[in-house]
Structure 1
Amino acid sequence: MESYKTLEIVRKNNDSSVFHLILNRPSQLNALSLDFFVEFPLALSSLDQNPDVSIIVLSGSGKHFCSGIDLTSLSSISERSSSGDRGRSSERLRRTIKSMQAAITAIEQCRKPVIAAIHGACIGGGVDLITACDIRYCSEDAFFAIKEVDLAIVADLGTLQRLPSIVGYANAMDLALTARRFSGREAKDLGLVSHVFGSRSDLDKGVNTIAEGIAAKSPLAVTGTKAVLLRSRELNVEQGLDYVATWNSAMLISEDLNEAVSAQLKKRQPRFSKL
């Protein structure tokens, strides 16, 4: 398995198709460095293409999930973009931002579901990360903040685009303009996370159980459900129904369907082939 400066990939059980993608800069509170934005999409792509992987759990090592963008990296970007011709500097900065955006969007482009398991701080760029994930859970000690306005910048890696459809427009505006800290319990009330676990240990166990449950289902059905839900955000109901009809006309008749029906009739656990 490949090694990374800012990440670690762990398979906790050799018989499991649940893989853990861990932000691994604990001494920097898992702040997102420039290396992260190069490595993260590469790691996701390798997991996506690995037939042994069904589900990816995204978490952070150490005391916190993610403290946001590394301020040293932010200063480096600012310095590089403030020299030379104004037009060329601005074009270079735009390319940098687009590249960083693409690293976060890689979560959505990954066919396999990505579950965020959040403990401690989830600040700024950490919120960008989790809003791109498919399911989010946190521990009781988790807290969140969209801090970019306090750094005199507009959040530009996805939070402002994804959060309104998760928590509602008014709540997203409140959180983004005030940059206030909010708890895991409030995140649950807002719909940002699906469940709050009592401790980090409970979070790890609970998320692993959920992930294993999803991993046991048909990979064609799981990846298809993710793809259709993501696409449906941009479509009205009629267009969404047409899209899923086209999807299922290609994917519905499969060995997975036969196996699922057979398992139901025989009251046994289904066994699906790898994707």
Structure 2
Amino acid sequence: MEEQLQYKSLQVKQKSPGSGIFYLHLNRPTRGNALSLDFFTEFPAALSSLDRNPNAAVVILSGAGNHFCSGIDLQVISYFQSDENQSTDSARTGEWLRRNIKFLQRAVTAIEEFRKPVIAAVHGACVGAGIDLIAACDIRYCTESALFMVKEVDLGITSDLGSLQRLPGIVGFGNAMELALTGRRFSGSEAKELGLVSRVFSNMESLEEGVAQIAEDIAAKSPLAVVGTKRVLIQSRDMTLDQGLDYVATWNSGVILSDDLTEAISAQRQKRKPKFSKL
């Protein structure tokens, strides 16, 4: 089981036995949950394990301690700058760097490749790579006191883990450009105005309770419908309208005539809650 696996940068919990909700905590609270090299191996591995677990229906991503994520650990940047990883041939150094950047990117993209919904619950700071993470999540919520920054420009680098690609589709191109070029702080309430988060909660306790209830509501729905909805939305994002319609027609031709459809209709007729098999 996932909760028995040991990670250096993460913690996976199922708070209620029998619940389809699993909690994936960034777990380096003394470092503000800065993303270490271990994270980029452990995070996709944890998601892969949860993806195979039929008991996991929804994942809530949050941070242990006072912050969601303070960005990428500076030790990761130092690793890329170290002399032992440099070649006298600039082309070989560049190829090595590109290959490793792609490795880091895959850890974040793993959220989108994960079949089931991932909900980000943000408190405290969500900076730099933290924005990369939540931009890849399916739904985002935060506390009023949360603060956000697309920080990379202040470190002399171009954000390369997904914020520049995903944020424009979430907050609009102009807003994404302004946030990324200025690197300014913005609040939970502004994140809601921009559309980065769907709802702002007054404090940590209400955030945890509210997100847990939302996750439970999603977990009670047809897993085939939930998985299909996520996949079709993500695929259609980069398609024309006609391509997106063709994709969902192909998807539904394979799954629409399911036991879940029969159960959903029966439950509505009988005015009861439906019960779906695990996926």
The TM-score normalised by the length of structure 2 is 0.97
Q: C-alpha separation between the residues in 1 aligned to 2:199 and 2:85?
A: 41
Name which of 56, 60, 66 aligns with 1:57: 60
Match of 1:198 among 196, 202, 206: 202
Give 1:178's aligned residue.
182
Does 1:159 find its partner at 2:127? no
- Following superposition, the deviation at residue 72 of structure 1 comes to 1.6
Deviation of the 1:85 alpha carbon: 2.0
Q: Within 2, Cα distance between the matches of 1:159 and 1:88? A: 27
Map Cα deviations across residues 185-221 of structure 1 (whole Å, 9 max, x no partner). 0000000000000001000000000000000000000
Which residue of the partner structure matches residue 117 of structure 2? Answer: 113
1:126 and 2:130 correspond: yes
Matched, 1:48 2:56: no
Equivalent residue pairs, number? 275
Deviation at 1:84, TM superposition (A): 3.2
Q: 1:68 aligns with which of 71, 78, 85?
A: 71
Tell me how far apart the structure 2 counterparts of residues 225 and 268 of structure 1 sit (CA, whole Å). 23
Runs of at least 5 residues in structure 1 that lack an aligned partner in the other structure: none
SS of 1:224's partner is helix
Match for residue 240 of structure 2? 236
Q: CA deviation at 1:237?
A: 1.2
1:7 equivalent to 2:33? Answer: no
Tell me how far apart the structure 2 counterparts of residues 142 and 81 of structure 1 sit (CA, whole Å). Answer: 37
Residues 1:25 and 2:28 aligned together: yes
- TM superposition shift of 1:73: 1.6
Runs of 4+ in 1 over 6 A off after TM superposition: none
Instruction: State the distance in 2 between where 1:152 and 1:176 align.
Output: 12
Percent of matched pairs sharing the same residue: 62
Q: Distance in 1 between matches of 2:80 and 2:219?
A: 40
- Asked if 2 retains the 8 angstrom alpha-carbon contact of 1:81 and 1:93, the reply is no
CA RMSD of aligned residues (A): 0.8
Equivalent residues of 1:117, 1:207 under 8 A apart: yes
Measure, in 1, the Cα distance between the counterparts of 2:88 and 2:206. 52
Q: Does the alignment pair 1:35 with 2:26?
A: no
Q: Deviation string for 1:32-59 (max 9, x for gaps)? A: 0111001000000000110000000000
Q: What is the CA distance between 1:81 and its match in structure 2?
A: 4.3
Could you tell me which of 90, 111, 115 is aligned with 1:86? 90
Counterpart-to-counterpart distance in 2, 1:147 and 1:108 = 23
Alpha-carbon deviation of 1:160? 0.2
Q: Matched residues in 1 for 2:50 and 2:63: separation? A: 17
SS of the equivalent of 1:115 reads strand
Q: Structure 1: which amino acid aligns with 2:81?
A: S
Say which SS state the counterpart of residue 12 (structure 2) adopts: strand
In structure 2, the partner of 1:77 is 80
Residue 145 of structure 2, aligned match among 135, 141, 148: 141
| AA matched with 1:19 | F
Match of 1:271 in 2: 275
SS of the aligned residue for 1:58 comes to strand
Give the corresponding residue for 2:173: 169
Letter in 1 for 2:266: S
| Corresponding residue SS for 1:92 | helix
Q: Secondary structure at the match of 1:193?
A: coil
Q: Which amino acid aligns with 1:151?
A: L
